[in-house]
Chain A
Amino acid sequence: MTIKQGMKDGIPIALGYHSVSFTFGLMAVAGGLKVWQAVLISAANLTSAGQLAGLDIMLASGSMAEMALAQFIINLRYSLMSIAVSQKADESMTVPARLGIGFGITDEIFALAVGQHETLGRRYMTGLIITPFIGWTLGTLMGAVLGSILPSFVVDALGIALYAMFLAIIIPPVRVDIKVAAVILISAALSCIRYYTPLKGVISSGFTIIIASIAASTVGALLFSKENK
């Protein structure tokens, strides 16, 4: 598959990212960062949850150790995704290619990549990362510059974009595989338990994702193991 095909497949992700990173740019500037700083954070990190937590730590003058640990915990799920991508990689994924493509493993890019029936090549993955990267960076720039002009209810409404995209990724497989539905339900239930109990003050949202994901996937793998996948 070509770089062009990858870039095309990345367009919906880029558009979704654009609205999400718009909010990030807005928040960063409102918090006291300069426009170029907000854009640089997005260009260097390409991750929503990690950047939001990182921004909070910066603005609160947190320690570098806190910054490192928070990023490690919140983004640890990418390690699991990288392992899965590695399983589907073809021989064009050399070490330099992996050093570049590793930068662009995000929830949505990962979901689209592993949803492909074919093996994953360097060119397709590069394309699949470029368009969302542009969307994410441009969205941050626009949010940082224009955010103060838009009415707040519009900005608030855009906040659902990323989560709606998640629905579009997880719901279609549920129709054909009830086991996937069970795994999603377990994970979502664990996340809700943490959210609606005093655990919320104890476990961070990033760590909740890790615990819930590992627990639900383990149950899935033990109870309904895949014959050949």
Chain B
Amino acid sequence: MMDNKLFFTYLIVMAGVTYLVRTVPLLIFRKKIENRFIKSFLFYMPYAVLGSMTFPTIIYSTGDMISGIIGMLVGAVLAFKNKSLMTVAAAACIAALAVKLIMMI
């Protein structure tokens, strides 16, 4: 078991770096950016981040590929139909759960 002093040292380093990474740019970049390249870059960036975070990890996120792929397909179809974040997430979980239950039979 880790002692409290060590735990808090880890916690402070971990949370401190995470906080600075988020906050320093928010303090520094206060003027409107006019550069067209940078504007376009920033427009595309969140989609790129989520794209690389989601694929291919999503198909392994439930512990087995079959329920992962089915869950992904259900989520993708509902997302394409503009359903809310919560509906999409819940439906993907239920689909993955259903597949797992069927495979247990």
Show the binding face of A for B, using Cβ within 8 Å: 11-13, 15-16, 19, 32-33, 37, 40-41, 44-45, 47, 49-51, 54, 57-58, 64, 67-68, 71-72, 75-87, 89, 95, 98-99, 101-103, 105, 107-108, 110-111, 114, 153-154, 156-173, 175, 179-180, 183-188, 190-192, 195-196, 205, 208-209, 212-214, 216-218, 220-222, 224-226, 229
Contacts and interface: CB of A to CB of B under 8 A. Distances in A.
Contacts of B10: 54, 57-58, 64, 67
Interface string B31-69: 011001111111111111111111111100111100110
Contact of B72 (A49, A160, A180, A208): A160
Contact of A168 (B1, B33, B83): B83
Categorize the interface residue count of chain B.
Answer: 35 or more
B-side binding surface: helix, strand, loop or mixed?
helix
B63 A188 contact: no
Most B CB contacts (10 A, CB to CB) among A68, A159, A218 go to: A159
A75 B46 contact: no
Contacts of B105: none
A13 B93 contact: no
Interface of B: 1-2, 7, 9-11, 13-15, 17-19, 21-27, 29-30, 32-33, 36-58, 61-64, 67-68, 71-72, 75-76, 78-80, 82-93, 96-97, 100-101, 104
Given A103-B22, A164-B72, A185-B51, 18 more contacts: A32-B2, A50-B18, A54-B14, A78-B18, A80-B45, A83-B25, A89-B30, A98-B27, A153-B104, A167-B76, A168-B85, A170-B47, A171-B80, A187-B48, A191-B53, A216-B51, A218-B41, A222-B37
Given A58-B7, A160-B62, A229-B40, A165 B89 contact: yes
